[in-house]
Amino acid sequence: MAMMEIHSVSKSFGGVQALDNVTMSVEDKKITGLIGPNGAGKTTLFNVITNIEPVDSGKVTFDGRDLTNIKPYHFAKLGILRTFQRSMPFGEMTLSENVVMGGIAVSEIGKLGGFWRTKKAKNILEKDKQKAMDLLKVVGLFERKDMLANNIAYGEQRLLEIARALACNPEILLLDEPVAGMNPEESLEMAKLIQRISQDGLTIFLIEHNLDVVMNLCDEVYVINYGKIIANGKPKEIQQNEQVIEAYLGKKGVWRAAG
């Protein structure tokens, strides 16, 4: 059984059918990618999975559990962490505080903890801080740990968000265009990071426009167009799929990553 199953999910906004009977599965411990032209419904799918928008019909299950009525703030506790298309750091907080905030949900001291500094509390707070430091090291931001998130580069903010999500001990990461707005070096660094995380056993479901990244990273790729899944398979198969090429380029042509 796949870790996350999306069963015939449909969603419309007014007259626009954003998602049309979308069915797909995200395999355990693999990297699954979702690609498609702009406006095809990719981010809407993420919003619907995490209940930021309700589905019109269909359902999403995670480890067999129906996610339909779960409130958005509950998803992190279930192990489902997502990042957003636009960079969303806690700007006025330091990098270190950002990552610690990520770990609050799974902290031994609880979300309301740390008010009274008992010995036990101090130990747990120190442990949480250490975990945040380790994660900052993983994404290469440790040296800047005391800088405000607003003051670091855009690409670094996106790395920060990954560290922050990892602090919550996720079982699955939903990454919405992780390399959007990044130059080639930053994209490569992010891709390497994602690969490392995946090798550590995390399941990853990502949306991307950058076809180089998708084709090199993903084990399985789904293609969506006008709210419908039009193809899925291994990257090599997708690259040769005529329907997909047509959707992206409007006519048959040489497959060139649009980046």
Partner 1 sequence: MIARSIRSHWKIVLISLLGLVVIVLPWTVNPFRIRVFTLCGIYAIASTGLTLFMGFTGQISIGQGAFFGIGAYTSGVLAKAGAPFIFAFLGSGLITGFIGLVVGVPCLRARTFYLAMATLAFLLVMHTLFKNLVSITGGTSGLGGIPPAAIGPVSFAGFTEYYYLVWGIVAIVIYLFYRLTQSYIGLTFRAIGSNELAAESLSANAFRFRLLSFCLCSFLAGIAGSLYAHLDRVITYESFTLEESVIFLIMAVIGGLGSIYGGLIGASIFTLIGEQLRILERAQIIIIGVMLIAIVIFIPHGIASLPDKVKGLITGGGRKTST
**Residue 168: how many other CB atoms lie within 10 Å:** 21
The Cβ-side half-sphere exposure at 149, using a 13 Å CA radius, reads: 22
206: contact with partner 1 by CB under 8 A: no
- Binding to partner 1 (CB under 8 A) within 26-55 occurs at 50, 52
- Gap between the Cα atoms of 11 and 40, Å rounded: 12
Per-position b or e across 104-127, b if 16+ CB within 10 A of its CB: bbbbebeeebbeeeeeeeeebbee
- Gap between the Cα atoms of 62 and 80, Å rounded: 9
| Near partner 1 by CB under 8 A: residue from 69, 116, 252, 254 | 116
DSSP 8-state assignment for residue 145: T
Q: How far apart are the first and last CA of the chain?
A: 33
92: contact with partner 1 by CB under 8 A: yes
| Near partner 1 by CB under 8 A: residue from 64, 115, 250, 252 | 115
Contact at 8 Å (CB) between 31 and 204? yes
Give the long-range contacts of residues 249-252, CB within 8 A, separation 24 or more.
none
3-state secondary structure of 142: helix
144: contact with partner 1 by CB under 8 A: yes
202: contact with partner 1 by CB under 8 A: no
131: contact with partner 1 by CB under 8 A: no
102: contact with partner 1 by CB under 8 A: yes
11: contact with partner 1 by CB under 8 A: no
CB of 113 to partner 1, least distance (A): 5
| Near partner 1 by CB under 8 A: residue from 54, 91, 253, 259 | 91
Of the pair 2, 147, the CB lying nearest partner 1 is at 147
Contact at 8 Å (CB) between 160 and 84? no
249: contact with partner 1 by CB under 8 A: no
CB of 184 to partner 1, least distance (A): 27
Give the per-residue contact string, 156-195, with partner 1 (x = CB under 8 A; - = no).
Answer: -----x--xx--x---------------------------
Residue 23: phi and psi, rounded to 5, are -130, 125
| Near partner 1 by CB under 8 A: residue from 64, 111, 251, 252 | 111
205: contact with partner 1 by CB under 8 A: no
3-state secondary structure of 148: strand
| Near partner 1 by CB under 8 A: residue from 25, 84, 133, 226 | 84
Which residues make up the interface to partner 1 (CB under 8 A)?
50, 52, 71-77, 81-84, 88-94, 97, 100-102, 104-105, 107, 109-117, 144, 146-148, 151, 161, 164-165, 168
